[in-house]
Amino acid sequence: MRVEHVELRVIEMELVEPFETSFGREEKRPAIIVSAVSDGVAGWGECVAGSGPWYSYETIQTAWHVLSDYLIPSVLEEDLQTPEELPQRWSRVRGHPMAKAGLESALWDLIATLRRVSLSQLLGGTKDHIESGISIGIQRDVPALLKVIERRLDQGYRRVKLKIKPGWDVEIIKAARERFGEIPLMADANSAYSLKDLPIFQQLDEYGLMMIEQPFSYEDLVDHAELQRQIRTPVCLDESVKSPEDARRALQLGSCRIINIKPGRVGGPSNAKRIHDECLAKRVPVWCGGMLETGIGRAHNVALASLPGFTLPNDLSASDRYYQQDLIEPAFVLHRDGTLRVPTGAGIGVEIVEERLARVTVDQKVYTRGAH
């Protein structure tokens, strides 16, 4: 495939409600939307780097730089057979998985569209709907949290994930259990604790959580393994798994029993699929995480989550949980059985509403073959 041009757009989307985690509170979600054109057909991707280096070191500006100066020139200069070549081709660029994933995902959509197959089919998906969970941020107080949980359960979400941080942990899990009984419940700490906090995890261990996500440092595998030896609740890694190699090391060390796969965090759909394949072979359950994506990134994640190893509910909620008006049509809606449909049209299978995209665009640049 010969890519003729690539376009980057920085957008800013207003969240329907602020989202607070142990690393901060966000009211707006910036993103870079990537489009790549070949034979007059466009493929679309989304780069999930943040406004600041909080979840990972990548930001909108670092991703823009790496895309503009290294990744885009490489796909404009050299034709490509399949996007699966890209992790190897880009291995000279150390790190920057979110920048890589933004462009690689646009190329997956482009190839699927050119071949007139759905992205789910191209990736090897086997499901026509995926289980939807909800990630609930830190709230003002416990009564406010219980109200949010109740509303989300009424809407049909199949699993509730509560963000925790020191001072907002055992008490809220206890309150949720007392109020809602044996609902599928889990906690996500976004690296807010260390092994010194073992007693907190021993208390949490009494509440039958499906898993505890990323309790310790974003760089750690060893202390997580120690924690997993000390508690029954499965540890799930998010931030600590940035590549297929990290996933292999984490499983070898026993650092977790479940992996949250986010294509942005692991360098793109090819690496995400590799981690899935290895986990499936080793019978390690996986699920697809989210980064408050617009419908473009969400459509990519839904296609990925249609692979057979995604056996746990995903952080893929309906469009209206994030944004008043999504950038795509049709929007993702939660069905009464708590699932999202996997689009069947070519590529990501949703239409980009360019007029809405234009309204949220704050910066834009086109890169053309031979022009740099």
Give the residue ranges of the annotated binding site for Mg(2+).
Answer: 188, 213, 238
The binder of ligand OSB chosen from 20, 169, 238, 326 (CB under 6 A): 238
- Work out whether 188 is an interface residue with Mg ion (CB under 5 A): yes
- Work out whether 58 is an interface residue with ligand OSB (CB under 6 A): no
- Work out whether 293 is an interface residue with Mg ion (CB under 5 A): no
Q: How many CA atoms lie within 13 A of 56 on its CB side?
A: 25
- Work out whether 121 is an interface residue with ligand OSB (CB under 6 A): no
Q: Is 365 a residue of the active site?
A: no
- From the CB of 24, what's the least distance to ligand OSB, in Å? 10
Dist. CA 243–CA 119, nearest whole Å: 21
Q: How many CB atoms lie within 10 A of CB 7?
A: 18
Contact string (CB under 5 A) for Mg ion, positions 211-240, x = contact: --x------------------------x--
Task: Give, in degrees to the nearest 5, the angle at Cα 13 between 7 and 16.
Answer: 155
Please give the radius of gyration of the chain, using alpha carbons only, rounded to the nearest integer.
20
Kindly provide the residue ranges of all beta strands, DSSP E only, lying in the chain, ordered along the sequence. 5-21, 24-38, 41-47, 129-131, 134-136, 160-163, 185-188, 212-213, 235-237, 258-261, 286-288, 328-329, 339-341, 351-352, 361-368
Given 100, 163, 242, 273, which residue is catalytic? 163
- From the CB of 238, what's the least distance to ligand OSB, in Å? 5
Q: Which does 215 bind (CB under 5 to 8 A by kind): Mg ion, ligand OSB, none?
A: none
Q: Which residues sit in the known binding site?
A: 188, 213, 238
> Which residue in the shown chain puts its C-beta closest to Mg ion?
238
By CB under 6 A, the residues from 296 to 315 that bind ligand OSB are 315
Helix (H) or strand (E) holding 243: none
Instruction: Give the tokens for residue 362.
Output: 């704050």
Q: Is 262 a residue of the active site?
A: yes
Dist. CA 237–CA 256, nearest whole Å: 6
Q: Can you tell me which residue has the tokens 């219980």?
A: 146
Kindly indicate which of the ranges 75-83, 92-100, 285-293, 326-334 contains the residues binding ligand OSB, using the contact rule CB under 6 A: 285-293
**Chain residues in the site for Mg ion (CB under 5 A):** 188, 213, 238
Where does this chain bind ligand OSB (CB under 6 A)?
55, 135, 188, 190, 238, 289-292, 315, 317
Catalytic residue positions, numbered: 163, 262
